[in-house]
Structure 1
Amino acid sequence: MRVSELARAGGVTAETVRYYTREGWLPSRRDSHNGYQLYDDEVLGRLRLIDCLRCLGLSLKEIKRILEREEQGCGSLLDLDPRLVEKLPLLHSRIRELQALASWVEQAGRPPSPHCYGAEAPCLKQLMAELARQHGRSIEHAPQ
């Protein structure tokens, strides 16, 4: 796949793909006919990993170190960066937030049922209240 296709599939910009490629994080090959950079399907998983690690708050420098050690065959991701265990409360919080958002979108996208007189689609305030509640739960259960 080309840069734009990988970017679209990975949920990032084409410039992000180009940057990661320049850094050597996303292996590519050149199409001999037109010079386009081409990526294997396997690279999409690597791109998603990088994006997930960024969402967890790891710096590009930390991610680079993880990817370099992985290329050298240095164990599991947790062996490469044991601080990821500390990110578990954040991961669980994000999962709950995304589940709440997905549920809200599903409910908002449903046509009103003729059997639910006066029922309205869930409002945005309800979603914000649920997200605040989910965030509060992650703070309450975070390790000290």
Structure 2
Amino acid sequence: MRIKELSQATGVDVETIRFYEKERLLPAPARSDNGYRDYAGPHLERLSFIRHCRALDMPLSDIKRLLAFVDDPAQHCLDVDQLVDEQLSRVRARLKSMRALERQLVQLRARCKGEHEGGECGILHELVAAAHGEACACHPG
């Protein structure tokens, strides 16, 4: 299959497929007589694996490590466990950060209720104060 067909089959952009080839996540395909890339089933499977890992927000460096295990299944999988534990830790840290951001936005939103002109808007007042380096509802002290 051609790169466009591979892209359609996996939902991965053509430029991203080329990037994965360049980064050696995806092996270079054979070339047909007319010079077009000719992808096969293993490319589709590998690209689907990469896409799934990216959907889990795994960095490319971790995906490379996982692919090494796919390519050599005789290796012990403790490193795979550790890799997923590290990703889980990163996700939990981001969730904690997002919860803090949510609290800040709730505090900011509480500064303005109802309809009024911008000059009377508590949210805008807080944001302007913060821009001047002053404490605000979402970043006290």
SS in 2 for 1:81: helix
Residue 62 of structure 1 deviates from its aligned partner by 0.8
What stretches of structure 1 of length at least 5 have no aligned partner?
91-144
SS in 1 for 2:6: helix
Within 5 Å, give how 1:74-89 maps onto structure 2: 74-75=74-75, 79-82=78-81, 83-84=83-84
Within 5 Å, give how 1:19-58 maps onto structure 2: 19-27=19-27, 28-31=29-32, 33-58=33-58
Distance 1:3 1:80 in 2: 33
Pick closer, same or farther for the CA change 1:63–1:3 going to 2, 3 Å.
same
SS in 2 for 1:58: coil
Residue 75 of structure 1 deviates from its aligned partner by 4.1
TM-score, length-scaled by structure 1? 0.51
TM-score, length-scaled by structure 2? 0.52
**Between the two proteins, what is the percent identity of the paired residues?**
35
Task: Check the 8 A contact 1:74/1:80 in 2, yes or no.
Answer: no
Distance 1:5 1:38 in 2: 10
What corresponds to 1:66 in structure 2? Answer: 66
Which AA in structure 1 matches 2:80?
D
Pick closer, same or farther for the CA change 1:29–1:11 going to 2, 3 Å.
same
Residue 68 of structure 1 deviates from its aligned partner by 2.6
What stretches of structure 2 of length at least 5 have no aligned partner?
92-141
Distance 1:56 1:4 in 2: 24
Distance 2:23 2:38 in 1: 16
Distance 1:66 1:74 in 2: 13
Residue 80 of structure 1 deviates from its aligned partner by 4.7
Write the deviation string for residues 69-118 of structure 1: whole angstroms up to 9, x where unpaired: 43234448x5452143775xx9xxxxxxxxxxxxxxxxxxxxxxxxxxxx
